[in-house]
Amino acid sequence: MKRTLILVAVAAALIAGAVNAATIVGAAQQAGNFTKLLAASKAAGIDKTLEGPGPFTLFAPNDAAFAKVPQAKLDRLMMPGARNVLKTALGAHLVTGIVSMQAIDTGLAGNAAVVVDTVNRMPLVFKNEGGGLTVNGAHIIGQPMQVDNGLIYVIDTVLVPPMPLQPKY
């Protein structure tokens, strides 16, 4: 009986370690509500980047956010010929480095807004609006998920970059 409990405790520790050792892609897969974002990142060819060492901060629209985008537009973006446009659109959600909640809160304490640039040089503007924190008008849902290669903030809206922006992947 004691041996079984020890094995269960070791298995639980290994599982917990695997969750904490996740990459952005692994955590998004495990969460289960980022299927459209994961499909888009694979179609754009940035899924391997998001599995890399980072660090990155991803402002991740969940599936409910993608449901706000007309399906015809999503279908066009997922076509092989639209890969660069899709890559640019996803780059509007990605920052190289860590953008911590503490840094955002500290910046907002002295200013009306905090601005951070994405990988494709699009400014992300953080504000306290409507009783919560927003980034370019999208609401940040809850606390960020910390993973081995960065942070994931869940947002309720897909961010749209001004065109033309060139990603620097």
| Tens-place pLDDT, residues 126-165 | 999 878 999 999 999 999 999 999 999 999 999 988 755 4
What DSSP assignment string belongs to 58-78?
A: EEEE-HHHHTTS-HHHHHHHT
User: Is residue 119, in this structure, part of any structural domain at all?
Assistant: yes
164 preceded by cis ω (within 30°)?
yes
Amino acid 112: pLDDT = 84
When divided into structural domains, the chain yields a total of: 1
Q: How confident is the model at residue 166 (pLDDT cuts 50, 70, 90)?
A: very low
Average pLDDT along the chain: 84
Strands 138-147 and 56-61: unpaired
User: Is residue 166, in this structure, part of any structural domain at all?
Assistant: no
CA 7, 10, 14, 20 torsion: positive or negative? positive
pTM: 0.82
Give every CB contact of residue 44 below 8 A, 6+ residues apart in sequence: 83, 86, 87, 90
Domain span including residue 88:
23-155
User: Is residue 35, in this structure, part of any structural domain at all?
Assistant: yes
Render pLDDT for 13-51 as a digit per residue (tens, 0 to 9). 333 334 334 899 999 999 999 999 999 999 999 999 999
Three-class DSSP category at 128: strand
User: Is residue 163, in this structure, part of any structural domain at all?
Assistant: no
Amino acid 131: pLDDT = 82
Amino acid 110: pLDDT = 80
Amino acid 169: pLDDT = 41
Whichever domain contains 98, its CATH number is 2.30.180.10
User: Is residue 94, in this structure, part of any structural domain at all?
Assistant: yes
Give every CB contact of residue 28 below 8 A, 6+ residues apart in sequence: 34, 37, 38, 60, 152
Amino acid 164: pLDDT = 54
